[in-house]
A = this chain, B = another copy of it.
Amino acid sequence: MEPLDQLLRKGETSKEVYLLRRLQADEKDSSDSTLGLHFDLTVPFARFVLENAGKLQFPFRRYQIQKCWRGERPQEGRYREFLQADIDIVDRDTLPSHYEAELPLIIADVLGGLPIPKIRIQVNNRKVLQGFYRGLGIDDQDEAIRIVDKIDKIGPAGVAAELASLGATEAQAKLALALAEISTPDASFVELVEKLGVTDPLLTEGLAELVNVVETARAHAPGICFAELKIARGLDYYTGTVYETQLVGFEKSGSICSGGRYDNLASSGKETFPGVGISLGVTRLVGVLFGRDALQVSRSVPTCVLVALPAEEDRPAADRIAAALRARGIATEVAPAAAKFGKQIRFAERRGIPFVWFPSPEGDTVKDIRSGDQVDAAAASWSPPSEDLYPAVRGSFG
């Protein structure tokens, strides 16, 4: 939760904020300042940086995995309560632009290790849009950005119509749309922009920053990061590089990982802490994949070994076997009740537990209940094959 004035500090927000009120509060009880639930992790992070600037070492890097809330009508891809995983770097006064190039490398590494479809990180720079529209002679560049940002929803004709009602000429609208169509996997977008014949110092600065991001990413993980000049991130607080990430084959589900550079979010009157961050929408990602049955899990529990129980009075001994296995990182549970071994094996089968351990005064044995193989074993030394140690998640993407 955050004070409401912090949540609305950047003025206008398109986010549906939830406010809090105590159930037992008097209707007129206004002793507490109004509290609300954060709609992202960036705004609370900016508040944290300002409050703790004296104690932090800059540049300050942090990750944070936490719930966020928006008062939406729930539907696939939009949730009232959802989990975000954020990384951010902030510095005092100035922030070198190499950090803007570092974030897509981290996302490529993190998502590349997961059983999910191929990703496509789409990058742009607000300065490119701002500078291009200014060079083009459009006065309200912020409004133009908001209009072009809707291109996937309303189409090029819709964008042209809205730009016209903003006062843009047909030629200006045509060039704005031509810019939005540019998409390259490398620095070649610069040449395509230059061919449009618009010049502006801010445009030049933005193009150079975008080249650095796209080329750094290409050297690290080719084929993942694209310059995509229609990306704008709508109403948000970004001032430079902006990122969106699509799952290839699931483009309609929207961006699963978005962010950008914000120069003014964490600033008091005296001090400013420019930052750059990116936020993985964990709930949306998992919702998309489970919603299409695109993930299979090898078993329903983390348990690798079930210790069978010959009789209820053997429970303390079985607990000691379980403790010895757990101490070596092998997830183990003890059978819930003494019963015929066949019944205890079926209990393991129903959960997908691969191994059943049989304690015995003559020496313990452990059985792989998939193959039926049973071997002598000691809790202090036996280990399962490494592929059975944890449940495995596999993806199948059509």
Contacts and interface: CB of A to CB of B under 8 A. Distances in A.
Nearest to A95: B336
Contacts of A333: 61
Interface stretch (A19-27, A372-380, A383-391): A19-27
Contacts of A336: 59, 91, 96
A22 B57 contact: no
B1 A23 contact: no
A101 B203 CA distance: 69
Interface in A1-58: 1, 4, 16-25, 35-37, 57
B21 A21 contact: yes
Contacts of A20: 18-20, 37, 69, 71
Contacts of A37: 20
A105 interface: yes
Central interface residue in A17, A20, A61, A350, by most chain B CB within 10 Å: A20
A356 to B, nearest CB: 15
Nearest to A326: B109
A351 B57 contact: yes
Interface residues of A, number: 44
Central interface residue in A4, A23, A98, A319, by most chain B CB within 10 Å: A23
Contacts of A316: 216, 219
Contacts of A23: 4, 16-19, 36, 71
22 contacts: A1-B69, A16-B23, A17-B24, A18-B23, A19-B20, A19-B21, A19-B22, A20-B20, A21-B21, A22-B71, A23-B71, A35-B80, A57-B301, A57-B350, A59-B336, A61-B333, A67-B67, A91-B336, A98-B315, A105-B319, A216-B316, A220-B319
Interface of A: 1, 4, 16-25, 35-37, 57, 59, 61, 67, 69, 71, 80-81, 91, 96, 98, 102, 105, 109, 216, 219-220, 300-301, 312, 315-316, 319, 323, 333, 336-337, 350-351
